[in-house]
Homo-oligomer: A and B are copies of this chain.
């Protein structure tokens, strides 16, 4: 398989899951000492991860959790944010200026900050009250925080069984999903290349909801727009029917992300509509992946990770088909702006 190192993937996910003891210690301390609201801070792709953890908890938990876009927090702030608030964020480099500015503002207001900063030596690490440094797996780290918050709040009776399953099976299930998706992804990338030759300016539409909304939003923006330089337009399933769908016609390229959380019915409605007006749509459904060892009731909580595993294969094949290295940037961090 092109650019695929199964062992590296297994080690990466298992290493993240092994952070559980450290994460639990921090979360327990936050809940023992008290807080008014926990704010997940992000920008761009990390903001999308914040949206995922918020919607994951929304229907299940009475813990007061909110999302702040770091750039907005700098200029607008939040009158309900206090010295009893807690900030949680994730950053690879720790140098993203909006994150640094928002953390500085939060600290100045007396809040406590829990960071996941991949780069151990980044100056922002010193500003955190708690910090864990381990590469990648941002979404998984956030959900581990969420699960512990809910467990401590009496909202996750199956916590131990859940973690046993994840620690035994998740990494392999994601590798298996990537392997299963690969031939499809190769074909999809080839067809997409051909389509782009005829329609270089046509945006590709990505649709998704629930924990898939963050996946949809960041996939369109951080992968196709930023890394592949392909036009996209992302929309949540619930919003699809309130304007956007009017410009879908027979040839419009649409990809629907279907997950398995409680917002799946919103995606099912889009899936039922698309064939009526469009012949150029694709559905990626996490239900098509076995996820061996994971109980049905837990699948919804990881379906965004399954989607990422599938799309990681699309990325590799798109990179090859388009002859466009994913790591080149026209503008991002190339000059001052």
Contacts and interface: CB of A to CB of B under 8 A. Distances in A.
B247 A231 contact: yes
Interface string A233-265: 101111101111111000000000000001101
A45 interface: yes
A72 B331 contact: no
B77 A242 contact: no
A244 B222 CA distance: 7
B221 A203 contact: no
Contacts of A230: 247
A69 B235 CA distance: 13
Q: Size band of the A side of the interface?
A: 35 or more
Given A199-B201, A225-B247, A43 B242 contact: yes
A227 B78 CA distance: 35
Contacts of A70: 238
B238 A69 contact: yes
Given A71-B266, A238-B71, A246-B332, A76 B61 contact: no
A60 B79 contact: yes
A1 interface: no
21 contacts: A44-B241, A44-B243, A59-B76, A62-B80, A69-B238, A70-B238, A71-B237, A75-B263, A76-B210, A76-B262, A76-B263, A79-B155, A201-B203, A202-B231, A221-B235, A221-B244, A225-B246, A226-B244, A227-B246, A246-B332, A269-B337
